Structure 1
Amino acid sequence: MSPVSLLPVVPILLLVLVVITLVSKLLHITPQEGRYKSIDGLRGYLAFFVFLHHAVIWYFFLQGRGWTAPPSQVYSHFGPTSVSLFFMITAFLFFSKLMAAKQKGLDWLKLYVSRLTRILPLYGFMLLLLLLMVGILSKWMLKEPLPDLLLHIGGWLLFMEPAINRMGGTRFIVAGVVWSLAFEWLFYFSLPFWGWLLFRLKATAVTYLFAGLMLLIFIWVIQYFYPYNALARMSVFAGGMVPAFIAGKPQVQRIAAHWLTSVAILLLLCFTVLFFPHVFAPVPYVCLTLCFIAIACGNTLFGILTHQASCLLGQISYSIYLIHGVLLFVVFYLCIGKALTPQIHWLMVTLCSVVLMVVCSLTYRFIERPGIDATDTVKRTVMHYLEDE
């Protein structure tokens, strides 16, 4: 079997869906109810494809070929293209919020508090795992001045990826996924200005000042740490803005739900993956955007995206995205640490996928979900503090 064979993908994916269904019953995790079930299902598959992307990278990394894109166009697309669709999902959902708020306004404080309570608890947990790995690898010896160590850890709190304790390649412990969160926050802080420009949504001067300041900070973060293809990556968000304007139209929904549209999506995805090395070019970008528009407007890909197991996978997608890198690092670097045959490598990837589902179900249940549920409490606390000031 080739290390870039596609044969293991479907069996592993089916195993993952079975495991997440069983584990969710034990942990009482239920699919989230909402208007966009196709989007919820899509998230899970995207996160899992990113896991497979990095799993293949680890095979060649252990072969001594460095941390580079896999020598397979399909597995190469599993990473950046999946993240691009994540960006489109973000843009679609939040532009839909802006449109819905045209009449009654938007609670900007709750929006940003909800982002903090949604993203930071699990990110903090991931950062603790990262520091644990750094400590183990450095044998708990301080190899840089303490102020520098604290400064570098602080950089990770701003979604940068500096080396910690002079350990080159610190970012590979988490598979280098943090860059996408910097782009997400850049988008979040642009929302008040998009809201005013497109929908004449008003916000307080404090909101504009805060958002503008944070926008400048994240522009600097991206320019300093993630300049490669930065404009192209940011432009992907535009693909998610488009369906926000048409998703509620019944005629569009009927066209999107038709089985021929599902066929067209699959053909466009195959065309994009097989004939283009990446999505950051006009033709593949348009193809991907058309696929996303159809899904955002209600296409389910023959019911796959709205199946309960798919929605459960989507429920823990953020955990999959953040935690999988640490799991792969522990298994392939700390535990194995040597090149494997393709067959043994895929066996280990299969075992990792099962462990990943269990771990991510636990992190969702005991870290993510409590954070989400704490949004209103945190908002009231912030409001009380601001009023006292």
Structure 2
Amino acid sequence: MDFEYNPETIIISSTIILLFIIFSYLWKHKIESAEIPHQYKFINGLRGLAAIFVFINHAPFALTNLGINNQIFSSWGQIYPNLGSFGVQIFFCITGFLFFDKIMSSEKIDWNSFFISRLKRVTPLYYFSSAVVLLIALSFTTQTVFTKETLLTLAGISTFNFIDNPLKIGNISLIPLSSVTWTLVHEWRFYAALPIVAICYRSKYKYVALTAALTLAAIDLGTSAVVCWAYFLTGIITAAVHKKKINYMLKFFAAIVAAITFVVTCGVLEIPGYGYMRFAITSLFFVCITISNPRILHFQFLNRLSDISYSIYLMHLPIIYIAFKCASTFVDLSQIDKITFWTINIITVPVIVAVSTLTFVHIGKKYMNPQKNMMTVK
């Protein structure tokens, strides 16, 4: 098995993570004034890091996303794309964990309240970021936007891309601006399936249902190139495991395994991003993190990043896009060197943190009711 690690990728990745921590600290009072209480600190820490991992994945492709073929350097290996898919998979696992934990702890669930709370949590920031993306596309397109493609794109965006669409406004592709939103389709499908999950959990046949789900996951992972729903199943199983009492030695061993699986995920070259091997590795990591519950994930700086993680996830691509568009007026992007390229990317970090903080406080949090649980017991 081949690995690709070099000091450059490690230094750049570490620098980006550190800068997100530093600049979120500068917005400490603003973020914490709207802080959302969470039961599981380690989940919070993991969510904050996952959002940064997705940024680290996308940053190296800023020039490619603008259609620019740089003649000075190319990419730096697999640590970046692996971190991106890993971050998304962790998001899916976290969703499965948290909502199944709610199912286990609630005698009866008010599903109307649940779906309303999900709409309030997900849609305002999504539509805000979509509006930003559309404005950027309208600003840079050189072709007419009054086309069938535009209408299909608007229909797709308004329905979280459940309606297949070209993601194009004029001659501007929206993929470099909003490619992360494809994951929301899978999130909504999982929300829709939760009532069935709750029924199965309370049924005497719950282990039969679990066996059937695992069998379907194994078949899908073995026959499909991209499988996402299975990661929600990992979260569900992990939530049940987390209820068990675990001794210190097992926690220590799980922490070591989690560290090893993370290193493998970042550096291994041959494993596809969403195949069965990556599913096994990511699932092992998530289970081990849940068992070990490492103290580092409890730190407040990760909790702050967790609160603004959804905004980071949605807003980082438009900000990177605009940064390089602005830079193109001063430098020839096809000729820039690595230092200039990464300087531009790094400059976007404080902007992303600032925008994410403001959108979280004034849009995301505004439509959430912290006094009411996502699932309520009647």
TM-score by length of 2: 0.81
Give the share of equivalent positions with the same residue, in percent.
26
1:178 to 168, 181, 186: 181
- Could you say which residue in structure 1 is the equivalent of 2:219? none
Q: Distance in 2 between matches of 1:122 and 1:41?
A: 21
Asked if 1:242 is matched to 2:234, the reply is no
Asked if 1:138 is matched to 2:134, the reply is no
Q: Does the 8 A contact of 1:21 with 1:309 survive in 2?
A: yes
Aligned residues: 340
* CA shift for structure 1 position 71: 5.4
- Could you say which residue in structure 1 is the equivalent of 2:346? 350
Q: Does the 8 A contact of 2:85 with 2:274 survive in 1?
A: no
Structure 2 vs 1, CA of residues 70 and 76 (structure 1 numbering), >3 Å: closer, same or farther?
farther
Q: Does the 8 A contact of 1:243 with 1:293 survive in 2?
A: yes
Q: Does the 8 A contact of 2:150 with 2:169 survive in 1?
A: yes
The within-5 A match list for 1:293-372 is 293-297=287-291, 299-300=293-294, 303-336=295-328, 338-339=333-334, 340-372=336-368
Q: Distance in 2 between matches of 1:240 and 1:369?
A: 25
2:69 to 61, 64, 75: 64
1:8 to 8, 12, 21: 12
Q: Distance in 1 between matches of 2:99 and 2:237?
A: 12
Q: Deviations over 1:212-268 (max 9, x none)?
A: xxxxxxxxxxxxxxxx834x222222221211112122226x45643x432221112
TM-score by length of 1: 0.79
Asked if 1:269 is matched to 2:274, the reply is no
Q: Distance in 2 between matches of 1:375 and 1:333?
A: 43
The within-5 A match list for 1:26-175 is 26=30, 28-29=32-33, 31-61=35-65, 63-64=68-69, 72-101=77-106, 104-138=107-141, 141-144=144-147, 149-160=150-161, 162-174=166-178
Q: Distance in 2 between matches of 1:156 and 1:14?
A: 33
Q: Distance in 2 between matches of 1:193 and 1:26?
A: 39
* CA shift for structure 1 position 26: 4.3
Q: Does the 8 A contact of 1:30 with 1:312 survive in 2?
A: no
Consecutive unaligned residues of structure 1, counting only runs of 5 or more, are: 202-227, 380-389
The within-5 A match list for 1:183-222 is 183-200=186-203
Q: Distance in 1 between matches of 2:272 and 2:283?
A: 14
Q: Deviations over 1:1-52 (max 9, x none)?
A: x997321221232222121012122454365332211111111111111111
Q: Deviations over 1:36-69 (max 9, x none)?
A: 111111111111111111111114445428xxx9
* CA shift for structure 1 position 370: 0.6
Q: Distance in 1 between matches of 2:289 and 2:78?
A: 23
Q: Does the 8 A contact of 2:45 with 2:303 survive in 1?
A: yes
Q: Does the 8 A contact of 2:30 with 2:357 survive in 1?
A: no
Consecutive unaligned residues of structure 2, counting only runs of 5 or more, are: 1-5, 205-223
Structure 2 vs 1, CA of residues 256 and 93 (structure 1 numbering), >3 Å: closer, same or farther?
farther
Q: Distance in 2 between matches of 1:41 and 1:256?
A: 21
SS state at 2:33 partner: coil
SS state at 2:153 partner: helix
Structure 2 vs 1, CA of residues 41 and 7 (structure 1 numbering), >3 Å: closer, same or farther?
same
- Could you say which residue in structure 2 is the equivalent of 1:219? none
Q: Does the 8 A contact of 1:98 with 1:195 survive in 2?
A: yes
SS state at 2:36 partner: coil
Q: Does the 8 A contact of 1:316 with 1:361 survive in 2?
A: yes
Q: Distance in 1 between matches of 2:250 and 2:367?
A: 34
